[in-house]
A and B are shown apart, each in its own frame.
Chain A
Amino acid sequence: MEDEIVLLDFWPSLFGARVRIALAEKGIKYDSKEEDLRSKSPLLLQMNPIYKQIPVLIHNGKPICDSLIVVQYIEDVWNDRNPLLPSAPYHRAQARFWADYVEKKIFELWSKVWTSKREEQEVAEKEFIEALKLLEDQLGDKTYFGGDNLGFVDIALVPYYGWFKAYETFGNLNIESECPKFNAWVKRCLQKESVSKSLPNQHKIYEFSVELRKKLGIESVGI
């Protein structure tokens, strides 16, 4: 019996992008259902009653929620190809630790940058860059966080890039000059089809950011 795989998604979502990349890495065919988050479908509400959020992977009718949990599920089920996590327990724990750092710390600092008022912007941007530099240290000389191949931490982090880049026009961030190693790693990831086909068009993210900032009433430094 063929697998039925549905992804409830929202095109600009970096969390949705993580799942798209993982599915592409494993070469899994699936149906994508675009959600309107202002008017959530009965299916979404039924499949994720706790958080009512995307992404939700529905595998043969059964839902799996939370992007990093979904990625781990994909890894567990399709464990015969392109491993996304190291097999050794210690290295697996390290990968989980850094993905958790992205999930909590990068999200927290990025949210501060994104919503900061003019006077707080400089401090927020500085803290954010420090966190990216920490990740650069962790990457070291490796091609990817996963080593020679794209892994769990790469998948957790790379979807943020479009949003970081879009923000550069609103604030005083220049990722390329401040974090060249991070920038080089992004470029390497984007050369992989699983990543480039899963991330939304840069310009669309920018337009979406502009609209979102207007709606949230966030003023921009702008140039």
Chain B
Amino acid sequence: MVEEAKVLLLGSRFSMFGMRAKIALAEKGIKYEYMEEDLTNKSPLLQEMNPIHKKIPVLIHDGRPICESLIIVEYIDMVWHSNYPLLPSDSYHKAQARFWADFVDQKVYHASKRVWISEGDEQEVAKKDFLQSLKQLEWFLGDKPYFGGDTFGFVDVALIPFYCWFYTYETFGNFKVEEVCPKLISWAKRCMQKESVSETLADGNDVYEAVVDYKKKFISN
């Protein structure tokens, strides 16, 4: 008889937010069950577990839901705190980590979305904003191997899933991140050497095909 899974993750294949939760769980070596959500036809479970936003990822631990990717990662870090800490223990560095993870949400995410959705002048502005946000992250990274310092941490988890979307942004926007932010690409490749990351990130080409498909279905005239 199989024991009921105590940890369940509701996610979506190409969602960078879902990937954050997966990477955190993998880093901690936590066994969990994964359920792929069709976001055009949301399951009753998702609607019950996240009635406010009806979004993934949702972590369901012992039957109780935790929503919002960065809140999930902090929760995972707190519950399984002895395995491989993701947040610094020092209050100041913890605040810095939270600030920069939030920066990824506020600046990187919104600009990146505009890069593949918009066209013309609007897209040029989006590209500029997106690359500017990556440059600011490079500045914060400095000479450290990871945003977490010597070890992979909270900000690394927050940002690395976007790496599998770079090909999509670059193709739609006609630019190369490496030409503007070579340090960040080195950091991304370093992260990809970690199993928790390489096993989690979707294939860049698959992401691109899915986005082209999505645009055809839902956005183009």
* A positions within 8 Å CB-CB of B: 50, 59, 62, 64-66, 69-70, 72-73, 76-77, 89-90, 92-93, 96-97, 100-101, 134
Contact = CB atoms under 8 A, between A and B. Distances in A.
Given A50-B136, A66-B102, A134-B52, A73 B67 contact: no
Question: Secondary structure at chain A's binding surface: helix, strand, loop or mixed?
Answer: helix
A93 B74 contact: yes
A92 B94 CA distance: 16
Contacts of A97: 66-68, 71
B103 A73 contact: no
Given A90-B75, A101-B52, A73 B91 contact: yes
Contact of A72 (B61, B68, B98): B98
Given A96-B71, A97-B67, A69 B95 contact: yes
Given A50-B103, A69-B99, A100-B71, A89 B79 contact: yes
Contacts of B66: 90, 93, 97
Contacts of A93: 66, 71-72, 74-75
Interface of B: 52, 61, 64, 66-68, 71-72, 74-75, 78-79, 91-92, 94-95, 98-99, 102-103, 136
22 contacts: A59-B92, A65-B99, A66-B99, A66-B102, A69-B95, A69-B98, A69-B99, A69-B102, A70-B95, A72-B95, A72-B98, A73-B94, A76-B94, A76-B95, A89-B78, A89-B79, A93-B72, A96-B68, A97-B67, A100-B71, A101-B52, A134-B52
A76 B72 CA distance: 19
A39 B212 CA distance: 45
Contacts of B79: 89
Task: Kindly name the residue among A65, A69, A70 whose own CB sees the greatest number of chain B CB atoms within 10 A.
Answer: A69
B92 A64 contact: yes
A77 B91 CA distance: 6
A71 to B, nearest CB: 10
Contacts of B74: 93, 96
Contacts of A65: 99
Contacts of A77: 91
Contacts of A69: 95, 98-99, 102
A100 B72 CA distance: 13
Given A90-B75, A100-B71, A76 B64 contact: no
A137 B68 CA distance: 20
B134 to A, nearest CB: 13
A33 B91 CA distance: 23
Contacts of A72: 95, 98
A134 B53 CA distance: 12
Given A89-B78, A100-B68, 12 more contacts: A65-B99, A66-B102, A69-B98, A70-B95, A73-B91, A76-B94, A76-B95, A90-B66, A97-B66, A97-B67, A97-B68, A101-B52
A107 B158 CA distance: 23
Contacts of B103: 50
A62 B102 contact: no
A100 B78 CA distance: 18
B30 to A, nearest CB: 14
A90 B74 CA distance: 10
A73 B78 contact: no
Nearest to B107: A50
Contacts of A76: 91, 94-95
B92 to A, nearest CB: 6
